[in-house]
Chains A and B, each alone.
Chain A
């Protein structure tokens, strides 16, 4: 029997052996059929068993995020986003006995939860073991039974229809396969379950577009050549598509912009590094600017960071010398279908015509 050395290879065998197509199997092929505008097209070389472009080095992300957590416990931007997300639980009449919290700013969600949403069992999941350990050590509220596990959003190890609520605050924008992750979330939810996510949007740091120019110049000077440091962030129009295609019912998208003022460009760059939003792009040395949306998340080595800051300050300093950086956060909500949700009626079953409605409400135009 041929030895298969890759864990992924084992899955290929499994798929071929299974004659009966199960609902789970479509979670693997979904990434092939999705092509929303922007960065989620299926182009690129084939990696392992999917045709999606592998943009992010997830191992790098695992280590870096743990580092961020240990250094920045009071990041107000991150807290504001988590708070906004958790606030939505109070708007629902429903309570959610079991909740799964996906990586991103896990710590903020855990800290700010405060018994909202009627959650009795909380499961915290992240790709980084260190991050999960920090969360477990930091747990100070024992009124909610909390479990911890290390897992990947793109390969969700959660049984179908098993949790009432899934929350992800500033985590999903780092997945290579966002549509696939969202589908797996939908599958894991119980009927009438809720999916709540906050991701960074494509307009983030647009204001600092000039910083990108400065960064490019600095990089070219120092390291001779251009290395892509851009991250394909979703646009607001993509968010709605993503929710519908994942199969969520009653999708909702709204956007918030947070403007954070920095004393200097260097402070902004340092904050980005501290937030752990480091560049995990795999194709570091190929000039592929054209593929990505133009937002900055960079891992700048110290020298390039200083050079960038100097260029920016000299070219684009504002009147009072501060740098305003805009973070666009897209909030997505979706429900797992349930018989109580309003459904669109079957085509041809209308009992009232538009002409009647028009007559009813008057008006010539």
Chain B
């Protein structure tokens, strides 16, 4: 099972963090920091795999891939295959690329919710759900279309009390 997906930029700022088991905000920050600490200490031209027992508990492994200014990190247990997860990152990035046409860090920052939409199509509840970027794109586009069509400008009562009275 996949335990976490992170996108961290080369300065250590998280751009996306999704944990498939609940963790407190502080714990999440700690993990992101320690993952970044380990990643930036790794040399070029080494393997993309790491044992992450000391960070995520026994039997945890980590696969990362470095694209321009971003690290894409998947953390998972022994039930996954490292090389396959590496390709999963590839699928994720390929999809982002199709979605944003030459994806860069800014796209990811400003399209935070879309990033999540894409990731939710790939990994669902910690399991790999879909690995074809064309299929993922289809699903994401369908969602976007529907969201756009339902998006005529209206005003919504926004107070909590207003909602409670309904």
Q: Do A and B bind each other?
A: no
A interface residue numbers (CB < 8 A to B) = none
